Amino acid sequence: TGTKFNLSRGMTWRLHAEVDYQKRDVELAQRSPYFTRHIPVVLQHGPTCGIAALASVIIAANPSADFASTANNLLSAAISMGISNQGELMSVWYMSKLVEYASLEHSVVEITPETDIPLQLRDSVLLLIYDKDKNNEPTMRYNGEHAHWLLVTGYTHKEGRTGSRNKKTPSSELHVFVQHGKSRLRQVWSWNEICKSNQNVKKAKQGDYVVPDDLESHVAGKMVKVRLKDL
């Protein structure tokens, strides 16, 4: 039920193939060892952030594929499967169905701040939902009403010191390289902050969307791991 997305509108998708980072994130990576994959960015239309993120992964796995046709095919498939009305994907299980449709090896994996991200990224990229702030960074402010798909492509560690002024000890916090359909820029965010934001997705924004009855169980503490064998 609900109003289906009008595919006859002829969507014009945009692709950014060159790696482009925010200046502050380049400086962070230069101070610490890091690992990341070069994944093109497909920018979203409306609530198609998950479809745009998956299209980016497919283009990375098959550079000869046409990115616009890839995104449109994913959108059409999601609507046909009944897991989307307007391009939204409100569940890791819905995303898993679409990754399976794309014939990519994948699994749904539980996540916590202690997840071994370097191990998970060894031959894969990671897709998960978080709650985005006005600057697109993770937040706890909206309880899921600004839910957004994120693609994790790499990691680094931010070195620092913790403790009192007279007794500080070295510390190291895991940060990850991320990209999403709202920006052509790749960024570096705290994994801990992403996990907290992910756990806080409890309700969906009002709209004509396909939303599972228990949204939290479809989002919180979960990600879709997509294997990229040759990258």
Asked whether the CA dihedral 178, 182, 185, 187 is positive or negative, the reply is negative
Q: Compute the average pLDDT of residues 184-202.
A: 95
pLDDT band at 8 (very low <50, low <70, confident <90, very high): very low
**What is residue 229's predicted lDDT score, i.e. its pLDDT?**
76
pTM of the predicted model, to two decimals? 0.89
66-93 residue pLDDT tens: 999 999 999 999 999 999 999 999 999 9
Question: Has residue 179 got a pLDDT over 90?
Answer: yes
210 in Cβ contact with 88 (< 8 Å): yes
Whole-number pLDDT of residue 16: 79
> What is the distance between the alpha carbons of residues 209 and 192, in angstroms, rounded to a whole number?
29
Q: At residue 127, does pLDDT exceed 70?
A: yes
pLDDT, tens digit, 9 for 90 and up, residues 18-60:
667 666 666 666 677 889 999 999 999 999 999 999 999 999 9
Task: Kindly tell me if the per-residue pLDDT of 5 is higher than 60.
Answer: no
pLDDT at 6 exceeding the cut of 50: no
Residue 186's contacts (CB-CB under 8 Å, 6 or more residues apart) are 19, 20, 21, 22, 25, 36, 41, 153, 177, 178, 179
Q: What is the mean pLDDT of residues 95-119?
A: 97
Cα(27)–Cα(38) distance, rounded to whole angstroms? 18
Q: Which residues contact 96 (CB under 8 A, 6 or more apart)?
A: 106, 108, 224
Average pLDDT taken over every residue of the chain:
89
Give the model's confidence band at 17: pLDDT under 50 very low, under 70 low, under 90 confident, else very high.
confident
Among candidate residues 56, 103, 43, the one with its CA nearest the CA of residue 77? 103
pLDDT at 22: 64
Predicted pLDDT at 13: 79
